[in-house]
Structure 1
Amino acid sequence: MYTEFLTPIYISIQVTFIASLLAFTVAVAAAGMMKRKHFRGKNIVETIFMLPLVLPPTVIGFGLLYMFGRNSAIGQMYERIFHDSIVFSFWAAVIAATVVAFPLMYQTLKAGFEQVDRELEEVAKVLGGNSLQVFRYVTLPLSKNVLLVGIVLGAARALGEFGATMMFAGNIPGRTQTVPTAIYVAVEMGKTELALYWVISIIILSFFMLYFVRRSSSS
């Protein structure tokens, strides 16, 4: 029972860590670009970025199956290179968690970047810095707290991901079974005590993540 309890937690931590790094990298780049650039259709692009935040998890899962399944170009290319399918793999769980974590990170980071004093950015440009240099050496350092809040909120979202993961990665013990999917299966099988332990563990992890966010926001 000890191994059965710990394995989904270990997989969840792995998935959350990798997904958070991926989502954070893309969110920083996207939020920085959207802060610097003004173009026709910008609102449409930002709406697309935010869609995973409001779409049903089953829709996200279906979309990922369609994009990365064995009949898709990406799925076929992956199989030719790695001789395995993305669907029902560890990386499928990572992709699902990344997709659902990205909108929350993006919105948090963009709001933080917008709060940076524009006069400081303009001074940096006058001193010879281009847009990318200003963003790297002025905007990012001044947004340090927001960066921390964004990655922790995204990680918390990735940790709790269930629906898209279940559809795209499945629930394979020791491979793709995360804590949320393990809780669901345990309840279905009548293993209420084991499910309760997992519930307590994910509540504790989520509590400390949110506590960190609140402390960082108030500092």
Structure 2
Amino acid sequence: MGSTWTALSLSLTVALWATGICLVTGTATGYLLARTRFPGRDILDAVLTLPMVMPPTVLGYYLLVLLGRRGPLGAWLQSQFGINLIFTWQGAVIASAVVAFPLVFKAARAAFEVVDPQLEKAGRILGVSETAIFFRVTLPLAWRGVLSGALLAFARSMGEFGATLMVAGSIPGKTQTLSISVYEAVQAGQDDAALTLVVITSITCMAVLLAAGRLAPGQVASR
């Protein structure tokens, strides 16, 4: 039972970090695409949404190529800072964040697009800075959609398997999250352990989805 709680703790840690990363990057990117027009905007939107439809194992392969010791980013991190992300829980965070990013990005963009631009314009007329307008006008009007996306990203990160397995592996107590633990338990014929892990994962994700549904029912239903 101790390994189950270890896997749960690791899954929560990975999901929280991944959600935090997605919340910052997804909100910023969603705001940018909602408020600006530039050539290639639709292409950029499609690229940023790709992780939502692409097989997680394919994403995991791309991350391995990018973050591996011979990869462009991985080699640079290793040579400059001695950082290796492969087969670490930090690597699991990055994999989960990449997979969950579109959920925050799309929800944030949709939320920002329904905010009346005239309210922001009124703030500019009054001499309020762009930063202050964002935090005092735009974000307070869009926070439900943004938070709904963050909750969905958390639930997605909790259940992430393919990309995480390829990047972080399955090291008990270090990188073995709940979803990977379920796979390992089934492979080992440990049906009781697998059932316990499945129930814990299902209850956690269901609670998050119910919370997200209360915040923005339309956005959750559209997914």
> Please, what TM-score do these two structures have when normalized by structure 2?
0.93
Structure 2 counterpart of 1:111: 110
Q: Check conservation: 1:32, 1:135, Cα contact below 8 A.
A: no
Instruction: State how far apart, in whole Å, the 2-side matches of 1:8 and 1:94 are.
Output: 14
SS at 2:174's partner residue? coil
Structure 1 partner of 2:127: 128
Q: Distance in 2 between matches of 1:50 and 1:207?
A: 24
Let me know the Cα RMSD of the aligned residues: 1.3
Q: How many residues align?
A: 217
CA distance in 2, matches of 1:128, 1:35: 22
Instruction: Return the alpha-carbon distance in structure 2 between the equivalents of residues 81 and 190 of structure 1.
Output: 44
Q: Alpha-carbon deviation of 1:214?
A: 1.4
Instruction: Describe the superposition over 1:112-147 as per-residue Cα deviations: whole angstroms up to 9, x where unpaired.
Output: 111112221221122223444322221101112122
How far, CA to CA, are the matches of 2:65 and 2:30 in structure 1?
27
* Aligned-pair CA distance for 1:216: 1.6
Unmatched tracts of structure 2, length 5 or more? 218-223
- 1:3: Cα distance to partner? 1.0
Change (3 A) 1:58 1:199: same
- Point out 4+ residue stretches in structure 1 off by more than 6 angstroms: none
Q: Letter of the 2:139 partner, please give it.
A: L
Question: Which residue in the other structure is 1:173 paired with?
Answer: 172
- Return the offset for 1:206: 0.7
82-91 or 150-159, which moves further after superposition?
82-91
What is the percentage of aligned positions where both structures have the same residue? 36
Letter in 2 for 1:153: L
Question: Residue 144 of structure 2 contacts residue 216 of structure 2 at CA under 8 Å; is this kept in 1?
Answer: yes
Q: Provide the rounded CA distance (Å) in 2 between the counterparts of 1:71 and 1:216.
A: 44
The offset of 1:84, in angstroms, is 4.9
User: 1:163 aligned to 2:180?
Assistant: no
For residues 1-219 of structure 1, the aligned pairs below 5 Å read 2-217=1-216
Structure 2 vs 1, CA of residues 42 and 130 (structure 1 numbering), >3 Å: closer, same or farther? farther
Taking the aligned partners of 1:81 and 1:12, their CA distance within structure 2 comes to 29
Q: When the two structures are superposed, what TM-score results if normalisation uses the length of structure 1?
A: 0.94
List alignment gaps of at least 5 residues for structure 1. Answer: none
